[in-house]
Structure formats: structure tokens, C-alpha cells
Structure 1
Amino acid sequence: MSATIFGPRIMLIGGGSIGRAPEVLGKLGVTKPLIVSDPFMVSSGLIAALTAPLEEAGIAYGVFSDTVPDPTTTVVEAGAVAFKEGGYDGLIGFGGGSPMDTAKAMNILAAHGGRMRDYKVPNGVDTAAAPLLCIPTTAGTGSEVTRGTVITDVETDEKMLVMCLAGQADAAIVDYELTMKKPFRLTADTGIDSFTHALEAFVSQKRNPYSDSMAIAAMQRIGANLRTACFEPSNREAREQMMLGATQAGMAFSNASVALVHGMSRPIGAHFHVPHGLSNAMLLPTVTRWSLDAALDRYAEAGRLIGAAERTDPDEAAAGKLLEWLFQINQDLEVPSPPAYGIDEAKWFGLMETMAKQCIASGSHANNPKIPDEATIVELYKQVWGANR
């Protein structure tokens, strides 16, 4: 079987590489970019890491900073208007997954019009309005290298997955120094998010040798460095390895697809506004436990790759140790259960069937080693509500 592999045309990876942003824009033919970021990056002055080299190179730019943690159709529509009316010839997504996803969606909407729901899976388009450079400031989403963007439809409360060539950034700058001051909670949530990307790509029914190579490398890096990055935030080596691991995990899942964890996670984000990485973390141990027997060899190898299991452990033991590691990492990194996070019990249980339907509509569940029906997904949501072990 053949695999079609997607990725940015240009990637700069390494500490200080953001200083070469003008060079990358030049290669893309961009002379006046619109930077898509968030209010904190602007108010804190962190955006200067990008704007300073642009100004030094004499590059005019605009800033759209009205993004929100879970990008919405309202924000995307406003951003597309700002892009078209400002006479910009390129876009830069600068920040976490939300600004990068917003920039991707703006680029699609500016090119083709209509509504974002027109482009959710299985629909999609191949062309965008302008060259896009993505620069992540967290080690988590991998959005800088993926074809995907996730946008919440404010009219339906659906967290829509858009996965198409038009969502692929033309270039990415992966500079781990941008993550050095990220707080514990953000480091933990984005780190588990990136591990989820790698693990789901590794067990996905759409996996291929290329995606496997990226997933394997990512799991090794993240497994060895996640705790250190969280508890020793100034550890440059751990930060660098986590950033590279997140990008490799992004390459893995963009070319193999995510599975049931992500399918169940998006509705939690849409209805309860739980950050994406955190909702993944809430789900990962329980969903893995349910899926384990359908890809025992793959889960066992994941356990060995992260150092939870020994090379000599048989598959059943190694997969069991992976599961223990997942529950333990959630405990160590203080991942709350849905009730501990403050989610209302009646609302959670009242929305489980709706969330299950939305999970199935996204199609991600069908990539899982074991494919659930709607009733099974509802049962898993029940288990996640009280999950500690």
C-alpha cells in the first residue's frame, strides 16, 4: 500500500530560529503578512520575538489578536474580513494551537467564502488565499505541520474538524526557546496532547511506515522528557526535546489521523470549554484501556518506547505497563477528572449522547483499533466522569 505524505515546504527547527522569520517570508514571496495571535501574546509583549526581526528587516505587518482558546466561526469570519480588507499577501499563525488553527481557517474562508461548516470532514479544499507560516509557542498541538484545523460552530456548538490540503502551512518555524517560560499547567496539558497525537497515530488504522517513524521518535522524546519539562521548566534540553517531539507527533497524526480520544475530546471542548490538551488527558487512560486488546502489540511497543516496559516484557505485560504509566502521569501532572475540573454532573450526563453523536460525525472514532458504537462511547464518557483508575 502507498501513503500520501503531507508537510510544510520549509521547516526551520532550533533555538533562535524565529529570528529568521523574514528569510522564510522572503522565500514564500510574502511582503506584508497579517500576524494571527492572541491577546496575551500581545499584552505580555511576547509577540516582540516575532515583530522585532520583521521590523528590523523593514517588513510591514498587521496583527489580528482576537483569537480565543477554542477558535470559533465568529472569530474566523472576522479574521478573514480583516485579512482581505488589509491588503495582506501572507499569514503568520503565532502562538499555541488556537492562533495557528484560526489562521488556517481564515486562509480557507478568505479563498473560498461560504461558512466554515462547508469545509468540515469529509469535505475540504486544496487551495488557500495566501502563503501561511506557522510558529508554535507551545510544545503540544503540532498544528504547524498538520493539515487540520478545529473550529467551533457557534450556532451548533459543534467542534468541527477541517482536514484538507488548504489547511497545511507552507512553512513552520519550531523554536523551543519560545516555550521556556510556559507555566506548569500549560506544559503538562500540551505535553500530554502531543503524546496522545503520537500514540493515536501509532495505533490508527490509517498508519503507515512514515507516520510510524514520526510517532516512534515522538513517543521516545516525550516519554523521556515530559516530567522534566513540567517540574524543571528552565531545563533547556527537556524543552527542546518536547518541542521536537510535539512537531514529530504532529507529522505522525497528520499523515495517519487521530482516533477515538480526539473524537471524544472535541465535544468536551465545545460544550465545557476544557482546553484541548486537558480533555485529551482526561480521556486517554480510559479510552486506551478499552482499546488495548485490539492492538496489543502496538500498545505494548509504545510502553517499551517510553520506558514504562522492558524490551523483554511480553506484549500483555508491556501494554499493561503503558496503561499504568498513563494513569500515573495524569496523577503526577495533576490532571483533574471532569467533576474535579468543575463540570456540572447533570450537564455532563445530559450531553453524553449528543457528544457521542458528534464524535461519530467527526469520523475519528473509525480510525481507532477497536471501533465503538454510540452506546459504547456514552459508556466511556460515564467511565471518564469518575476515572482515577
Structure 2
Amino acid sequence: MPSFTFHPGPRLLAGAGEASSLADKLPDGPCLFVTDQEVVRLGLTDACCVALEAAGRTVVLFDDVEADPSRATLMAAVYAGEAAGVQSVIGFGGGSPMDVAKLAAYLLGSGDDLDTVWGVDIANGKRLPLALVPTTAGTGSEASPISVITCEGGVKMAVNARPLTADWAVLDATLTLGLPRHVTAATGIDAIVHAVEAFTSARLKNPVSDALAREALRLLSANLLTACNQPDNLEARSAMLLGAHFAGLAFANAPVAGVHALAYPLGGIHHLAHGVSNALMLRHVLAHNVEAARDLYAELAEIIAPECAGQGSQAQAAVLIERLDQLVSDSGIAPRLRDHGIGEQDIPALASEAMKQGRLLVNNPCPIEEADARRLYEAAW
């Protein structure tokens, strides 16, 4: 067996209503509750907040998190927590509230300056106790030690360090019932990309992350369209939530790569949903990687298309790319950059911005230079 390191994620609570039990898992004192206004409007936070207050915790609600949260939003959450003297943090919602909660808990606990901790394994201080509750099945943010924040000029900056791993994560599929199709599709494709990129990562992939990535892809590919077409199907929603969590654990150890690197400028500059951005670039980056990652793509192809077993690796890799592209289309995501208001004249700027994602590009199975990025955006346009 080759030497490897695997970092487990948070302790896991799974089941309906488990978020209400967090009051027993967090210390006494005020709790910073990070979410967004839509999650609050839908009433998804009610039971958890009531349970916290019944246990004597003051809930400091911060619900101003937007998609692709900004540095200003992150710091506003930190200031709210400082002013209230919070002793713990809960992130409740999609990837954006969870990313803000993770980094706010770290900054509040460590006292570090944000600009000193960007990057991989630089943040090494102590954070406040932290729990994360996903309400979408996609980002896997509850499983990972990564927080991505949008800074000036739309540049995505990240802190990736083990102290950001939560103490607790709650998987309650009832919180995802009835999600709109476009949200289900985008977050589901995001999770699939996590699984595929973790399995093919050029750095740090290992037998444990591989096993998680394979099972994640099996669960997600088998249930995505059911969840889209039957939004109240609890079995499909549960499978999606578990698959997204497994994918999050996988990429927390074997980091994502070129699809994400080229997706980030689409979100940062053009404000596309992260999962949509990944969907738009998925086929084209996989095709770019196909020779370098052919055997790994062939292995994944047998998970989503068992009938291709026995074919040659080149044919199997082609099947994987076609099936994933079909999932994107069948989920309802418009597949071209032009469908989302991005002009051909925007491509040079996108390619230039993608080159700033060196922490992701280094994980890709083969190099992506700026000329490659421009060609891939052109293919996606």
C-alpha cells in the first residue's frame, strides 16, 4: 500500500430534525447563526433556532449572506459575532452561508487577520466551536476545511486549512425537499464534479478518497434526475445529500482541479451559480484531460454506465464524458456560455482570471495554460 494521509471530516448527525439537537453539542453562550434570507423566509431555520433558545442560547442571527459571498459580508458576520461575544457558530444553508460560517468561526476564535491566512494550510489558529447544516445537496461544504470568498474584482480567494473543519455536520434531507429544479440541478452537478475531480486529482488522491468519490458518483448520478423531476422524493433527496457529503470528504483530501478553476471566473465576474459554472465547463475540461486521465475516467464510466464494462479505456472515457454531459442537459441547465449572457469578447478576460487559480490548476491531470483556457472557453461558448 502506498503511503497516504486522509483527514476525516466532522462528526456527523443524520436524520430528520437532527439540527435541533445541536443545542446539546455546542457550548453555553451566544451562538452566531449564519444563513441567508431565503432560508429564513422558507422557515427552514425555525426549529433549530427555537431549540437553541429553549436551551438558553442567545441566537445572533446573521442572514445577509449572498451567493458567492464577499469579503465585506464575511467581515460583517465577524463583527456581529464580536459585538455579541458569541461562543459558537452555526452555518445553515447552501455553500455560501457555510463558507462564511467556517471562516468567521476561525477568525473569531483565532484573532488572525484575514489577509495572513489565504491559501493552503496557512491558517493554524484555534476557531470557535462550529456546526454546519446543508440545505442543498451539492457543495459538500459541511465536510470540507475550505472557505471560498469573492474579493475585489470578482477574484475568488480561499482558505484551505484543517482548523476550518467543523465539529459537527447535520444531514437532514427534509430540509432539501421541494428545492426548485434549477437549484437541485446546479448543486447536484457541482457534487458530481467534486467526485470526478477528486478521483482524478493529480495530488493527494488516495484509496479512501477514491472509495468516497466512487460511491458519491454512484449515488449522485443515479438520483439527480429523480430529485429534479420529483422534488419531494425523500429517498432521492437523501441519496443526493449523502452523495454530496461523500464527495465533499473526497475533495477535502484530494483537491479539485481544472473544472473548478475555469468555473470560478464565471461566478466571480458574471455571477453565475457555482454549480452552473461547473456544468458549463465540465465536458470541455474532461475532454482536455482525457488522455492523461483515460484509465481513471474509464473506471468512473462503469459506475454510471455499467453496460460499457469490457470496452476499451478510450471508449469508456468517451462514454463518461457523454453521460455526464447528458446529465447536465437532462437536468435542465442550458449548456453554452452564450445561454447565460456571456459574450465571446469576454473570453480573454475569463482565461486570464482562470490563471489566478493556481491552487486548483496544480491538481489537474494535465496542464492548463492560458491559451488552453481560452480554447476551452471558446469550446463552451
Instruction: Return the TM-score normalized by structure 1.
Output: 0.93
Aligned-residue offset at 1:115: 5.1
Give the Cα–Cα distance (whole angstroms) in 2 for the partners of residues 180 and 32 of structure 1.
Answer: 30
When residues 126 and 5 of structure 1 are mapped into structure 2, their CA distance, relative to the original with a 3 A threshold, is farther
Q: Does 1:384 align with 2:376?
A: no
Of 63, 66, 85 in structure 2, the residue corresponding to residue 65 of structure 1 is 63
Show CA shifts across 1:341-360 (max 9, x none): 122433x2241342232233
Give the Cα–Cα distance (whole angstroms) in 1 for the partners of residues 228 and 299 of structure 2.
Answer: 25
- Unaligned runs of 5+ residues in structure 1 are none
Aligned-residue offset at 1:298: 0.7
Residue aligning to 1:190: 187
Give the Cα–Cα distance (whole angstroms) in 1 for the partners of residues 245 and 217 of structure 2.
Answer: 11
Q: Does 1:179 align with 2:176?
A: yes
Residue aligning to 1:35: 33
Residue aligning to 2:323: 325
Identity of matched residues, %:
38
When residues 353 and 240 of structure 1 are mapped into structure 2, their CA distance, relative to the original with a 3 A threshold, is closer
Question: What amino acid is aligned across from residue 166 of structure 2 in structure 1?
Answer: A
Aligned-residue offset at 1:123: 5.7
Give the Cα–Cα distance (whole angstroms) in 1 for the partners of residues 258 and 154 of structure 2.
Answer: 19
Question: What amino acid is aligned across from residue 366 of structure 2 in structure 1?
Answer: K
Give the Cα–Cα distance (whole angstroms) in 2 for the partners of residues 351 and 308 of structure 1.
Answer: 40
Aligned-residue offset at 1:32: 2.4
SS for the counterpart of 1:144 is helix
Give the Cα–Cα distance (whole angstroms) in 2 for the partners of residues 97 and 30 of structure 1.
Answer: 26
Residue aligning to 2:264: 266
Show CA shifts across 1:43-76 (max 9, x none): 3322113212223333322111111101110011
Q: Does 1:169 align with 2:170?
A: no
Residue aligning to 1:368: 364
Aligned-residue offset at 1:201: 0.3
Give the Cα–Cα distance (whole angstroms) in 2 for the partners of residues 295 and 354 of structure 1.
Answer: 25
Question: What amino acid is aligned across from residue 172 of structure 1 in structure 2?
Answer: A
Q: Report matched runs for 1:217-256 at 5 Å.
A: 217-256=215-254
SS for the counterpart of 1:294 is coil
Report the count of equivalent residues. Answer: 378
SS for the counterpart of 1:71 is coil
Residue aligning to 2:93: 95
Give the Cα–Cα distance (whole angstroms) in 1 for the partners of residues 377 and 281 of structure 2.
Answer: 8
Give the Cα–Cα distance (whole angstroms) in 2 for the partners of residues 236 and 307 of structure 1.
Answer: 24
Q: Does 1:340 align with 2:339?
A: yes
Question: What amino acid is aligned across from residue 162 of structure 2 in structure 1?
Answer: L
Aligned-residue offset at 1:250: 0.1
SS for the counterpart of 2:320 is helix
Of 128, 151, 159 in structure 1, the residue corresponding to residue 149 of structure 2 is 151
SS for the counterpart of 1:335 is coil
Question: What amino acid is aligned across from residue 114 of structure 2 in structure 1?
Answer: M
Give the Cα–Cα distance (whole angstroms) in 2 for the partners of residues 229 and 345 of structure 1.
Answer: 34
SS for the counterpart of 1:229 is helix
Aligned-residue offset at 1:273: 0.5
| Higher mean displacement: 116-125 or 44-53 | 116-125
Give the Cα–Cα distance (whole angstroms) in 1 for the partners of residues 9 and 318 of structure 2.
Answer: 37
Instruction: Return the TM-score normalized by structure 2.
Output: 0.94
Question: Alignment RMSD, CA only?
Answer: 1.7
Q: Is the 8 A contact 1:223 1:307 kept in 2?
A: no
SS for the counterpart of 1:100 is helix
Of 108, 116, 133 in structure 2, the residue corresponding to residue 110 of structure 1 is 108
